[in-house]
Amino acid sequence: MKLDILSDLHIENESDIKEFECLGDILVIAGDISKNPDITTGYLNLLSERYKAVLFTIGNIELWHHSSINSVINSVTKNLKKNVYLLDILKGITVKEANFCGGIYFSKQFLTPNDSKNLKFHNLSDVLEKLEKKSKSNLHKKIKTLKPKVIITHYPPLSVLNMEETETRETSKYETIWIFGHYHQYKKFFATDKVSKKTLYVCNCNSKPLTLEL
Residue 81: left (phi > 0), alpha (psi -120 to 50), or beta? beta
Query: Domain limits at 56?
Result: 2-213
- Provide the percentage of residues in the chain whose pLDDT is more than 90: 46
Query: Distance of alpha carbon 33 from its chain centroid, rounded?
Result: 10
Residue 206 has pLDDT above 80, yes or no: yes
C-alpha dihedral, 46 to 50 to 53 to 57, nearest 10° = -40
Query: Distance of alpha carbon 75 from its chain centroid, rounded?
Result: 18
State pTM to two decimals.
0.89
Which is higher by pLDDT, 7 or 141?
7
CATH of the domain at 9: 3.60.21
pLDDT digits (tens, 9 = 90+) for 110-137: 666 766 666 665 566 666 666 667 667 7
Q: Please report the pLDDT score of residue 61 as a whole number.
A: 82
Tally Cβ neighbours within 10 Å of residue 55.
25
Residue 151 has pLDDT above 60, yes or no: yes
Residue 90 has pLDDT above 60, yes or no: no
| Count of domains observed in the chain | 1
Nearest to residue 87, comparing CAs of 75, 97, 101, 66? 101
Burial of 59 (0-12, 13-18, 19+ CB in 10 A): buried
Q: List all residues 6 or more positions away from 60 whose beta carbon is below 8 Å from its beta carbon.
A: 31, 32, 104, 106, 115, 118, 154, 155, 182
Distance CA 10, CA 59 (A): 10
